[in-house]
């Protein structure tokens, strides 16, 4: 009998993944990862409501334990707090300092779930590891999950082809509603549990309040790039992302204002009026940290520049230094440095890279 170690998070997806693996005849072991310690990391300081309640991750562990007891598998627990800080959270903070908008979930998959977790699973005798991601594997290639609304291949696109060997995604062929139906059939505590949101393993926080524990924020001018006028004050460049329109404390204008760029040297946030303003659109992105899962290296394919975005037709230019230019002359809105550019060919996820710079062929790149 083959052994599968499944990552049990305390949510419905991993719960059902474990059920399906057991039904398929595997010897299933649950493994819960503890990746964040709010008391040590200090993000509950000054928040009396949180400091006197059970830590959300402890509640997740309790739920995971009840699920494993219900379906008759053991649950192990492993502590990756230091590794998460070193490889994921530090990266998150450094990218914010550079004015980018990072995605820690992607780095958590790369460094924690499919690296540290996999090594721990091998210690437990795993032939395979499994997670509750909505994705599929076929002949060594990563495919989208069948539920288009829940497909999570985007978040797996920095994981290497080698790391994806001997990985199972039991719910990749299911929809979310089917997953919840199975959980209800087994009367699991997680059956109707709300999906986790917020920063990976840290959860929902008041973002500004949370970041103030780690990065000093310096206010500065908000400038309308079209009129060159100062229209307000920002509370710290790290709190804003390209395309953002909510949370801007600015004076009255005839149209809505959107964030279009940052000047770190002068501590300026640039905005422009109107959702179709030319400064919101770019035609090309320089992409680094390129990771190809597929053996294919196409010139033409499709790309997502953020999760849940529709596929965009793109052309790839391969550079000698390993970076790529991703070109989209049709122009795309709010392509954001720090985010992932994930490449696809039909249902196959080819791989990804991290957006370093964006360009607009018809506008000077004054804001980068």
What pLDDT is attached to residue 359?
94
287, 221: one domain: no
CATH of the domain at 29: 3.40.50.620
Is 170 within the bounds of a domain? yes
User: Does 55 participate in catalysis according to the annotation?
Assistant: no
238, 321: one domain: no
| Torsion angles phi and psi, residue 175, rounded to 5 | -95, 165
Let me know: does 82 contact 54? Beta carbons within 8 Å: no
pLDDT tens figures, 56-104: 678 899 999 999 999 999 999 999 999 999 999 999 999 999 999 999 9
Q: Which domain holds residue 36?
A: 3-207
Q: Out of 55, 68, 108, 349, which one is annotated catalytic? A: 108
What pLDDT is attached to residue 289?
97
| Distances, alpha carbon 326 to alpha carbons 316, 332, 341, 344, 363, in Å | 5, 11, 9, 13, 18
**Euclidean distance between CA atoms 265 and 47, whole angstroms:** 33
pTM, entire model:
0.91
Tell me the CA end-to-end span of the chain in Å, nearest whole number.
Answer: 56
CATH of the domain at 227: 2.30.30.280
CATH of the domain at 286: 2.40.30.10
What pLDDT is attached to residue 46?
44
What pLDDT is attached to residue 198?
55
Let me know: does 337 contact 357? Beta carbons within 8 Å: yes
User: Does 108 participate in catalysis according to the annotation?
Assistant: yes
**DSSP category for residue 10:** S
268, 308: one domain: no
130, 246: one domain: no
Taking the chain (368 residues) in consecutive chunks of 10 residues, what is each chunk's mean pLDDT?
A: 96 97 98 81 48 66 96 96 94 94 95 97 98 97 97 98 98 98 96 76 65 87 93 92 86 77 94 93 97 97 95 98 97 96 98 96 63
b/e per residue, 282-294, with b = 16+ CB within 10 A?
A: bbbbbbeebbbbb
What pLDDT is attached to residue 364?
64
Is 368 within the bounds of a domain? no
**DSSP category for residue 239:** G
Nearest CA to 305 among 276, 343, 331?
Answer: 343
**Euclidean distance between CA atoms 120 and 217, whole angstroms:** 38
What pLDDT is attached to residue 248?
84
Is 39 within the bounds of a domain? yes
Where does a domain end: 273, 295, 313?
Answer: 273
15, 128: one domain: yes
Q: Out of 200, 301, 341, 349, which one is annotated catalytic? A: 200
Token pair listed for 197:
């949101």
| Torsion angles phi and psi, residue 196, rounded to 5 | -70, 145
What pLDDT is attached to residue 234?
93
23, 110: one domain: yes
Number of compact structural domains in the chain: 3
What pLDDT is attached to residue 256?
87
| Distances, alpha carbon 276 to alpha carbons 93, 177, 225, 334, in Å | 31, 36, 14, 11
Helices (H), 47-152: 48-51, 56-71, 81-84, 90-97, 104-108, 117-123
Radius of gyration in angstroms for the set of CA atoms belonging to the chain, rounded to a whole number: 22
111, 150: one domain: yes
pLDDT tens figures, 183-217: 999 999 999 988 876 555 555 556 777 788 888 88
294, 312: one domain: yes
What pLDDT is attached to residue 197?
62
Is 249 within the bounds of a domain? yes
Q: Enumerate the β-bridge partners of residue 149.
A: none
């Amino acid at each position: 009998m083959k052994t599968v170690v499944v990552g049990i998070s305390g949510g419905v997806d991993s719960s059902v993944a474990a059920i399906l693996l057991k039904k398929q005849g595997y010897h299933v072991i649950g493994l819960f990862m503890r990746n964040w310690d709010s008391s040590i990391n200090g993000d509950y300081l000054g928040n009396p409501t949180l400091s006197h309640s059970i830590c959300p991750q402890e509640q997740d562990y309790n739920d995971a334990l009840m699920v494993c007891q219900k379906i008759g598998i053991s649950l192990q627990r492993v502590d990756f707090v230091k590794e998460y800080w070193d490889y994921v959270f530090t990266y998150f903070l450094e990218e914010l300092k550079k004015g980018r908008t990072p995605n820690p979930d992607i780095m958590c998959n790369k460094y924690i779930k499919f690296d540290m977790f996999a090594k721990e699973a091998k210690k437990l005798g795993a032939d395979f590891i499994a997670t509750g991601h909505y994705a599929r594997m076929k002949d060594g290639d990563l495919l989208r999950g069948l539920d288009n609304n829940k497909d999570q291949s985007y978040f797996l696109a920095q994981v290497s082809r080698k790391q994806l060997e001997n990985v199972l995604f039991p719910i990749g062929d299911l929809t979310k509603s089917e997953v919840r139906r199975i959980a209800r059939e087994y009367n699991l505590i997680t059956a109707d549990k709300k999906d986790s949101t917020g920063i990976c393993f840290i959860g929902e926080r008041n973002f500004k309040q949370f970041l103030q524990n780690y990065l000093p924020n310096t206010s500065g001018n908000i400038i309308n790039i079209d009129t060159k006028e100062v229209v307000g004050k920002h509370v710290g460049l790290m709190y804003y992302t390209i395309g953002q329109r909510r949370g801007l404390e600015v004076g009255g204008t005839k149209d809505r204002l959107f964030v279009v760029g940052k000047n770190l040297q002068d501590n300026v946030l640039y905005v422009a009026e109107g959702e179709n303003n030319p400064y919101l659109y770019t035609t090309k992105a320089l992409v680094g940290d390129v990771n190809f899962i597929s053996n294919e290296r196409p010139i033409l394919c499709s790309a997502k520049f953020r999760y849940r975005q529709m596929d965009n037709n793109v052309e790839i230019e391969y550079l000698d230094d390993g970076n790529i230019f991703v070109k989209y002359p049709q122009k795309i809105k709010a392509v954001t440095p720090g985010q992932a550019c994930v490449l696809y060919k039909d249902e196959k996820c080819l791989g990804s890279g991290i957006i370093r710079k964006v360009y607009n062929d018809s506008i000077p790149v004054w804001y980068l």
